[in-house]
Structure 1
Amino acid sequence: MPYNIPEHLKGLNNNEVTLSRKKYGYNQIDNTDKNTWLELLINILKEPMLVLLFAISIIYLIVGDYGEALFMFLAIAAVAAISLYQDNRSRKALEALEKLNEPLSKVIRNAKIIEIPTHEITVGDLCIVEEGKMINADGEIMHSNDFSVNESSLTGESLSVFKSSESDDNKVYSGTLAVSGLAVIKVEKIGKETRLGKIGVSISEIKEETSPLQLQIGRFVKGMAIVGIIVFAMVCIISYYHTRSLLDSLLNGLTLAMSVLPEEIPVAFSTFMALGAWKLMREGIIVKRSSIVETLGSTTVICTDKTGTITENTMQLKHIYNFATDKVFDENDFSNSDLSTIIDYAMWSSEPVPFDPMEKTLHRLYEKSRKDDQRKDFQMIHEYPLEGKPPMMTHLFENTEKERIIAAKGAPEAILNVSTLSENEKNKVRDIIKNLGSQGFRILGVARSNFQGNNFPEKQQNFKFDFLGLVVFYDPPKKGIQEVFSHIYNAGIKVKVITGDNVDTTRSIALQAGIKQTSQAIEGKDIMEFSDEQLLQAAEEKVLFTRMFPDAKLAVVNALKKQGEVVAMLGDGVNDSPALKAAHIGVAMGSKGTEIAKAAAALVITNDDLDKLIVGIASGRRIYANIKKAVQYIISIHIPIILTVSLPLFLGWVFPQIFTPVHVIFLELVMGPTCSIVYENEPMERNTMLNKPRKMTDTFLNWKELSISIIQGLLITAGILFIYQFTVQNGGNEEKTRAMVFSTLIFANILLSLTNRSFHYSLFESFKNRNILFPIVSFVTLIMLAAILYINPISDFFHLTGLTIRELSLSGGIASLSVLWFEGYKLIKRLNKKTK
């Protein structure tokens, strides 16, 4: 069995798994079905708009107007159905994301190592936990190798604890993280029975932090609700003064309250975020929190690792430097007998079952060059994990004859520092490292040591090492990476390369990848010596950050945040997790990323392709722009509805109740889908990714944008009130006036939804952004208007009459004038921008 796991650990067989599953269930803390259809429906029926509709329906029943009451109940069903459809789409999108977020776990079953979804772990399973992985059940350590675990999620203690089967505390717990080594754990408790389950901590129960946009939208909706309550009271009082009828007054007040309440806005926000996350999932980008979609569009700085992100992570071995002969061998000469010792020790210093591309290459080279493979004869007896500044690692092996191999590899500087070489010899090697590094090669130093007895030094740096030489890898930049960075720079986003590699290698690869301003670099050790002011300056000015370790990475990310930058941090290792968690957007690699990195990140790129982050940023910008358009549309169209309901009453006009609840609810049924479904489907505008990122501190709707929406609403109101007075002055009765006003508002609504597709480009330019939902919704609305006007039972129900072609043309013409002036405003704006 691989991983050097004892053969007696065979795990459960299929029958034992079935019996255990029946007895203990699945490894889930929350087994209940969240958000069932019934719960969704109950939540929807609590919405303020439906409460108002119920109140109006009851009033109609009391006064004996059963037709109106029936329509209101049908409206309740329609509003609930639309809300249920939107909520269900959001729920399914989030459930799909949750499934993708579930990690796989390695278990031994039937004497074979397999990967299973974490929720399928059962009591009695033997789980294999490696460095960087999350522990997903409580259990006892059966076998381990230099295994340490971070239990801060349970104990609050940040320092890792070494554990083994022989230690006093040989238990591990779900929700903790393996920091080093490997362990085989026999599962004793799962799901709710784990320590994590008993204290009631679940990822699904952790509340997302409210984003600035959510707060701003929440404040706006609350403000509108307060306005609605005030105006509702005014209308009730004035109406009662004129009519002395309490029920009629309540009906008028409730009609206005319906027109004021912008209940589409919070629905639109949640729909946009959930569906945005779902669409990104289809692109191979798993978003852990749907609200992060909004933040993506604001990214101002991308901090990226080099290996596997900018490069292919293929790690082709190009050269070997043998110190004994002072010669650099290329790949055609690796069979030379002079290299046997350095090849052997480079392999022994790697993991016995390698997962790193460099270590896989070294194992393959060993197989080719060694006639007698000794890997089965030697067992690892001690391991020093990759650590230090710069890092190195050391492995100790022993066979049955007590022959011992002590092999180390790591950053060349780290190996030189612990070697027995003289300073002159070290300088000679450093010159070779600099020459190779400037060509973009990744370089590791290799050394060996001797040690008698089992009282091993606490630190690997305390061994006396003989320097053997260098293994030199080439990891070429990914194909098309220059185009990716070109898109990033065009979007006004800065790039920082934060890597553990040396300066020369990093600079060479960065230049090949098309990264700008690479002349100056800074190392992690220097970062930690800076004052706060120096750190802020360095983080802002420098592009290449080399020989970085966790504290240094975290310091750079925090410094960039203090400068007001919105930071996306890309990482894949245990050492990246603090910076990933601290960044506004932590981005983990799906293929080669550790579970710790994925747990700390807010976003996971499944195929490790940096270009996917650009897709995410573009999606974030599109969603933010579309939410803005939807909200501005809602504000603009609510103003004429509010004023058309209230002004005739306040001003004592001849037909004070020009709109009843029936008309307002019809308009709501048109506006709701337009706002949250149609605008959500709107493609990204041209040149969106050529604009600078918006600032996170920017107000969602500044006064200029809000003023435009208010002016749009007021001008539509002016057109509608003009039609009202024009019809009355020309002898129109209440039904004719209502038909003219209602038709004008419907035409204006359609035109407004179309012209607000862009606040920069023309209406005709926007048609190039194909969105099939706009023509569908517009066509269906016009068909319904025709039915209301010309099918007698329906027109009688809506208390209006049919219009002639001339009257329809006048209605459409006034609607066009009251809306399409905005196209002229946009034209002037575009011309002014060109002249600047």
Structure 2
Amino acid sequence: MNDSASPTSGRRFDSGAGSAPTHWHALPREEVTTLLDASSDGLSEQEALRRLAQHGPNALPEPPRPSPIGRFLAQFNSTLIYFLLAAGAAAFVLGHIVDASVIIAVVLVNAVVGFVQEGRAEQALQSIGNLISPRAAVIRDRQRLSVHTHDLVPGDLVLLEAGDRVPADTRLLRARGMLIDESILTGESVATSKREEPAALNAPLGDQHSMAFSGTTISAGQGAGLVVSTGSRTEIGRIGRLISEVEPLATPLLRQIDLFARRFTWAAILVSGAIFLFAVLVRDYGWTEALIAVVALAVGAVPEGLPAVITITLAIGVRRMARRHAVIRRLPAVETLGATSVICSDKTGTLTCNEMTVRRIVLPAEEGTVSIEVSGTGYEPVGELSWSDPGDPAAAAAAFARCALLCNDAHLHAREGSWRAEGDPMEGALVAFAAKAGFSAVAERGDWVRLDEIPFDAGHRFMASLHRGPGGQVIICVKGAPEPILAMCGLAPSELERWNAAVASLAADGERLLGLAMKRLDEAPARLGFEHVADGFELLGLAGFIDPPRREAMEAIAQCRRAGIGVKMITGDHAATAGAIARQLGLAEEPVVITGADVDAVSDEELVALVARTSVFARTSPENKLRIVRALQSTGAVVAMTGDGVNDAPSLRQADVGIAMGIKGTEAAKQAAEVVLLDDNFASIVAAVAEGRTVYDNIRKMIAWTLPTNGGEALAVIGAITLGITMPMSATQILWVNLVTSITLGLALAFEPSEPGIMERPPRRAEGGLLTRFMLWRIALVSVLFMLASFAMFGLSLARGQEIEMARTIVVNTVVVMEIFYLFSVRFMHATSITWRGALGTPAVLAALVAVVVAQLAFTYLPPLQAMFDTRPVALLDGVMIVGVGVLLMVILEIEKAVFRRFRVFDPAEM
């Protein structure tokens, strides 16, 4: 540091956001001190105030928040809603108060449900701001002070200790055994060691060992450094700007509903206008009579209850997914999950257990080395050691295990049925390994008293501990990176070559490595110094660590591949480690691994082809993740993105559906996501995708049930006006049918379980229309069948001499019965409905059936409803005939489905 510079000197640090260096990590300490005009005495209060005025507070800007009124009004921003409101207004003007009231009520219910479900506004930026520690220890005017982090400025000398949250981006001037958990920025599971020497200029964020970034947590050690960036200019602030620049995407369902609503609205307007002109000009209807006919057409054609029923279906999906550990923050995300074609997943804790485990150890033997496999996962001290080489390495394994326990500060605890490591994860894994080898940590550490130690430091990359044994023996145990450990042991060239080959083999499998060695002394020195660990050690062996993959994640990935869903791992971890995990997970036959640097090196156009063939993206930055997601989306893929850190928030927001981790996820990630996993498990994502597919299937079933029944009513009105005959149903009767059946039969479809083989089908095309070719055919066919049945029953009744009121009553009951039988047919879009399971229905279907039958009996036989709807009691023979029409409809539709499946008239994915 520049000790000669006085804190009150005349120099002024004027570097603004645009001119400040962006490579502080690569600059020597002296140059950093000079550029910031700082000193070991700290800034003066006057200088700190001046810089605070220049750079602003060390805080992130508050994001704009929509008002509750604005959020409520946004629920009406839909073409279909506009049309429904216009239809309601027209009905009111024409004196059809009941019709108008029901339509308006349906629209309001839909808006209220959406408002309540989406009540929490986006708060990602605010959540990131909450990561900044409220107080920071600084040196100012030669005194140690505690100041609010908002008051930190570039050039402040901050003091950092274990447990602190770094208050601003800081260039370290001193680091002693410092380990910083940077997972919220890099996604790397293991704490990063820090030292004050400059890092390489092109070092990625995770390798900038001379920097401490705002919002990260100091796991061990202590140090000091100069603040180089504050507020929105920090790494967290830069990610915050990325979030604010990402426009939330409309989900596939919303896009499809909007397209359908626009087309439906224009078609309804054109047809209504044409029918009105035809009635007036050709059939000599009066203006009022023609308007009433058009209102009847609108009431018959408009699916008044469809928006509300879709919203309720999504809400039911939310409840189902919650039972499978996926909490939905925004309703449309339920359906979007079902359209997912690519899942971009974090590695640590999602695909893996997030618990370091000693997978194997390599020990010296007479003929070279012996490799011992270690079973068990996580920190639970249960497992076995096994080897296939001849000989008995038990003594060597015992010495290795003892050293692993003594040169170790971690402890294991069993809490709520699971084991947790207190301390460094790799040290915790060594304690678990020693227990598997038969050693008690308490007993060994009690027998071999620690006299002194050299803490781990990134500069020398090892830890050493001095111990006195029960018989007075004195030993030094060392543990650290293989290179310094091997150098301490004075191996012959041939031995060194053999051990280097073992190191390369373990690293190629993606394992993190530690070497262990021991040295015996005649007497204990007063203090353990570096001169005591320079040489003379006996190499005890190497330990290979891995964060093991979740077993259920492997099964879920296999299920994704069968369902045509691509899975890509995006992680901040090293390429070799990520590649090894990908192979174990079965992510691809031969997983292609690239790094963030490779992503940076290609253009956006080239990246599209690169991401298509890549399974693993390692050492990625937030910008890399954003570009990867956008490249996938440019191909038409529906992308689900998982994440837990602040660095994941921009890509979570960009993805079609963002999935945050509920256990280890930051609040920023949760607020940016649409889905939060309660168990941080990849298998829960796949379960949620299956639920999403079920929800979409059920929405399609409701549309396939609603539109043909409404279409049949509309065709009956059009046919009556075209032929110049009496309408078979009045507008009020049509509204009764739509209201009663939509809140009973239509809603019952929302509770339908998954159809068999739902995860054996490929993802649907996201940009495909809401109405597939098969559904368009089905809507046309069923609409015509409903119209023909209505006219046939109406004509037959009149031909038998029954009055028009009776004929209309028969037609209304015929339409309702047909809707009941059509419901049983449409419940199985991909299979026959004539099965025992199809006949039994579900509790929701049976309840809806009872409700609609009771309502129709009241409609037909209850005097007050007879007076309101102008109905007459139906005779038993007419009732049997009405039921027969419903049976005939179902038989026709089941024959149609069988023919289409047999001759593959339509793509199975469309059915």
Does the pair score TM above 0.5? yes
Of 824, 828, 837, the residue aligned with 1:754 is 824
Distance 1:798 1:420 in 2: 101
What does residue 313 of structure 1 align with?
A: 354
In structure 1, what residue type is equivalent to 2:253?
L
What does residue 115 of structure 1 align with?
A: none
In structure 2, what residue type is equivalent to 1:786?
L
Say whether the 8 Å CA contact 2:629–2:654 is kept in structure 1. yes
Report whether the alignment pairs 1:220 with 2:260: yes
Report whether the alignment pairs 1:631 with 2:703: yes
Say whether the 8 Å CA contact 1:493–1:693 is kept in structure 2. yes
Deviates more, 1:84-93 or 1:366-375: 366-375
Cα 1:72–1:206 shift into 2, 3 Å:
farther
Of 690, 698, 703, the residue aligned with 2:768 is 698
In structure 2, what residue type is equivalent to 1:524?
I
Of 877, 881, 885, the residue aligned with 1:810 is 881
1:762 CA displacement: 2.4
Distance 1:603 1:639 in 2: 37
Residues matched between the structures, number? 718
Q: Deviations along 1:216-273, whole A, 9 cap, x unmatched?
A: 3222222222222233334444444556643333222222122222344444444434
Cα 1:40–1:591 shift into 2, 3 Å:
closer
Deviates more, 1:314-323 or 1:265-274: 314-323
Structure 1 SS opposite 2:511: strand
Say whether the 8 Å CA contact 1:345–1:447 is kept in structure 2. no
Say whether the 8 Å CA contact 1:447–1:466 is kept in structure 2. no
Structure 1 SS opposite 2:545: strand
Cα 1:107–1:471 shift into 2, 3 Å:
same
**Structure 2 unaligned runs (5+)?**
1-60, 137-147, 153-157, 186-203, 215-223, 373-384, 386-393, 411-420, 435-440, 465-477, 518-533
Q: Deviations along 1:587-608, whole A, 9 cap, x unmatched?
A: 4433334556556655432212
Say whether the 8 Å CA contact 2:249–2:656 is kept in structure 1. no
Distance 1:482 1:803 in 2: 61
Structure 2 SS opposite 1:643: helix
Q: Percent identity?
A: 22
Cα 1:39–1:90 shift into 2, 3 Å:
closer
1:717 CA displacement: 0.9
Distance 1:472 1:333 in 2: 19
1:738 CA displacement: 1.2
Report whether the alignment pairs 1:249 with 2:249: no
Distance 2:739 2:272 in 1: 21
What does residue 25 of structure 2 align with?
A: none
What does residue 820 of structure 1 align with?
A: 891
Structure 1 SS opposite 2:512: strand
What does residue 68 of structure 2 align with?
A: 34
Cα 1:589–1:800 shift into 2, 3 Å:
closer
Say whether the 8 Å CA contact 2:563–2:763 is kept in structure 1. yes
What does residue 810 of structure 2 align with?
A: 740
Distance 2:260 2:748 in 1: 22
In structure 1, what residue type is equivalent to 2:842?
N
What does residue 57 of structure 2 align with?
A: none
Cα 1:239–1:138 shift into 2, 3 Å:
farther
Of 270, 273, 276, the residue aligned with 2:317 is 276
Superposition pairs for residues 611-690 of structure 1, below 5 Å? 611-653=683-725, 655=726, 657-674=727-744, 677-690=747-760
Cα 1:422–1:620 shift into 2, 3 Å:
farther
In structure 1, what residue type is equivalent to 2:325?
G
Q: Deviations along 1:649-681, whole A, 9 cap, x unmatched?
A: 22112x2x4433311221221343257632222
In structure 2, what residue type is equivalent to 1:308?
G
Distance 1:136 1:525 in 2: 27
Say whether the 8 Å CA contact 1:140–1:171 is kept in structure 2. no
Q: Deviations along 1:603-647, whole A, 9 cap, x unmatched?
A: 432212222112111011111211111112222111111122222
What does residue 94 of structure 2 align with?
A: 59
Q: Deviations along 1:30-80, whole A, 9 cap, x unmatched?
A: 8998379997999999864455345434534xxxxxxx75x447xx2x555
In structure 2, what residue type is equivalent to 1:762?
T
What does residue 262 of structure 1 align with?
A: 303
In structure 1, what residue type is equivalent to 2:333?
I
In structure 2, what residue type is equivalent to 1:223?
R
Of 766, 782, 790, the residue aligned with 1:712 is 782
Structure 2 SS opposite 1:524: strand
**Structure 1 unaligned runs (5+)?**
1-26, 61-67, 112-122, 152-157, 181-195, 385-392, 398-406, 449-463
Distance 1:779 1:792 in 2: 21
Of 211, 232, 251, the residue aligned with 2:272 is 232
Q: Deviations along 1:115-156, whole A, 9 cap, x unmatched?
A: xxxxxxxx999999999x999999999x998999999xxxxx
Superposition pairs for residues 362-761 of structure 1, below 5 Å? 428-436=498-506, 442-445=511-514, 470-473=542-545, 475-496=547-568, 500=573, 507=580, 510-511=583-584, 515=586, 518=589, 520-524=590-594, 528=598, 545=616, 549-550=620-621, 565-572=637-644, 584-593=656-665, 598=670, 602-653=674-725, 655=726, 657-674=727-744, 677-761=747-831
1:822 CA displacement: 0.4
Report whether the alignment pairs 1:796 with 2:867: yes
Cα 1:99–1:502 shift into 2, 3 Å:
closer
Superposition pairs for residues 5-404 of structure 1, below 5 Å? 34=68, 48-49=83-84, 52-53=87-88, 55-60=90-95, 69=97, 71-72=98-99, 76=101, 87-95=111-119, 167=226, 172=231, 177=236, 208-240=248-280, 245-304=286-345, 307-317=348-358, 357-358=425-426, 360-361=428-429
1:739 CA displacement: 1.5
Cα 1:434–1:372 shift into 2, 3 Å:
same
In structure 2, what residue type is equivalent to 1:772?
P
1:356 CA displacement: 6.2
Structure 2 SS opposite 1:473: strand
1:708 CA displacement: 1.9
1:804 CA displacement: 1.2
Distance 2:554 2:888 in 1: 49
Distance 1:361 1:540 in 2: 37
Q: Deviations along 1:561-583, whole A, 9 cap, x unmatched?
A: 56655444555567766766665
Distance 1:632 1:689 in 2: 22
Structure 1 SS opposite 2:68: coil
Distance 1:816 1:625 in 2: 24
Q: Deviations along 1:343-377, whole A, 9 cap, x unmatched?
A: 888869xxxx97763354468989987666799x9
Cα 1:93–1:738 shift into 2, 3 Å:
same
1:525 CA displacement: 5.5
Report whether the alignment pairs 1:784 with 2:828: no
Distance 1:91 1:135 in 2: 37
1:755 CA displacement: 1.3
Cα 1:82–1:542 shift into 2, 3 Å:
closer
Deviates more, 1:521-530 or 1:751-760: 521-530
Distance 1:54 1:617 in 2: 40
Say whether the 8 Å CA contact 1:304–1:495 is kept in structure 2. yes
Say whether the 8 Å CA contact 1:179–1:574 is kept in structure 2. no
Distance 1:420 1:554 in 2: 49
1:276 CA displacement: 2.6
Say whether the 8 Å CA contact 2:553–2:681 is kept in structure 1. no
What does residue 389 of structure 2 align with?
A: none
Structure 2 SS opposite 1:297: helix
Say whether the 8 Å CA contact 1:446–1:471 is kept in structure 2. yes
What does residue 117 of structure 1 align with?
A: none
